[in-house]
Amino acid sequence: MNIILLGPPGAGKGTQARHLVESRGMTQLSTGDMLRDAKDSGTEMGRKVADVMARGELVTDEIVIGLIREKLQTEKSEGFIFDGFPRTLAQADALADLLNETGQDLDAVVEMQVDDEALVQRITARSTCANCGEVYNDLTKPIPEDGKCVKCGGTEFKRRADDNEDSLKQRLMEYYKKTSPLIGYYYAKGELTSVDGLGEIDAVKAEIAKALDS
Ligand code: AP5
Ligand code: MG
């Protein structure tokens, strides 16, 4: 089963993708994580995208489509979770072509609905484990008092360069201008399911499971 998690910055795409990896053995393909890895490992592409990402703007379609193409052509999986991809209509068309070329289908597009006020709170309070990427939140899912990651025991946590109010404004603008048209696009294709992303993490998890199993 191949699915897209679609939603604004802070909707909970990464959090829910990690649950699906654990519960269903699926593979998370987060273009944001891939770009941050490229930046951290100092590749030429990583250097090129660092400023664009920090400002909260979208990286070119060519770069992100290239990243996804490579994964789909080289990795085998029980199912891919596209997290943060596609984000433009050109990316959506490219994904359809890539799945077609590799003999696969898109089974569902899950839109996670969260209002802007909650997004700001979630993003400005987020941190992640530097070792395994587990996602925390100062308000809703704090780092344990012993300072150890619940998943891997790691003790180092980081915050993202684009998790500040200015970049978030730009990220939201990009979402509404370039990504939200995909909601209508997938609705028209009969592939869209919308879930309430405002509930607690476990409630959202249950809604997504229901959507995928129906
Ligand atoms: P990306 O990394 O994809 O960031 P994003 O879309 O802005 O989304 P986030 O990762 O910020 O949020 P999320 O939905 O994963 O939420 P999370 O689960 O962490 O992209 C970053 C940048 O890379 C882009 O701006 C762009 O520059 C570039 N880029 C990436 N892909 C691209 C593409 N395809 N094309 C062009 N450019 C691209 O949760 C957030 C917080 O909320 C956490 O603290 C979490 O604990 C908490 N939380 C989660 N769920 C709940 C809940 N139900 N209740 C309460 N708190 C919750
Ligand atoms: Mg994410």
Half-sphere exposure of 129 (CA within 13 A, CB side): 20
Give the distance (Å) from ligand 1 centre to CA of residue 97. Answer: 25
Q: Which helix (H) or strand (E) holds 176?
A: none
Write out the chain's pLDDT in tens, 214 residues: 999 999 999 999 999 999 999 999 999 999 999 999 999 999 999 999 999 999 999 999 999 999 999 999 999 998 999 999 999 999 999 999 999 999 999 999 999 999 999 999 999 999 999 999 999 999 999 999 999 999 999 999 999 999 998 999 999 999 999 999 999 999 999 999 999 999 999 999 999 999 999 8
The residue whose C-alpha atom lies closest to atom 7 belonging to ligand 1 is 9
User: Per residue in 150-202, pLDDT tens?
Assistant: 999 999 999 999 999 899 999 999 999 999 999 999 999 999 999 999 999 99
Q: Which amino acid does the sequence have at 163?
A: D
CB 197 within 8 A of CB 12: yes
Residue 87: name the closest of 188, 13, 26, 1 by CA: 13
Q: Structure pTM? A: 0.96
Closest C-alpha to ligand 1, atom 49: 12
**Residues designated as active site:** 13, 87, 126, 160, 171
Per the rule left: phi > 0, alpha: psi between -120 and 50, beta: everything else, 10 is left
Distance CA(75)–CA(63), nearest Å, equals 18
Amino acid identity for residue 148 in this structure: K
Dihedral of the alpha carbons of 121, 123, 125, 129, in degrees to the nearest 10: 160
Please name every residue paired with 126 in a beta bridge, in sequence order, or none if there are none.
Answer: 137
Query: Alpha carbon of 88 to those of 4, 16, 62, 80, 96: distances in Å?
Result: 13, 21, 11, 19, 13
> Which residue, by CA, sits nearest to atom 30 of ligand 1?
32
Ligand nearest to the CA of 16: 1
Residues 6 or more apart in contact with residue 57 via CB below 8 angstroms: 170, 174
Strand partners, 196: 113
Report whether residue 8 contacts ligand 1, using a CB cutoff of 6 Å. no
Q: For tokens 């998890």, name the residue.
A: 205
Residues with CB under 5 A from ligand 2 (ion): 14
Burial of 122 (0-12, 13-18, 19+ CB in 10 A): buried
Burial bucket for residue 41 (CB in 10 Å: 0-12, 13-18, 19+): exposed
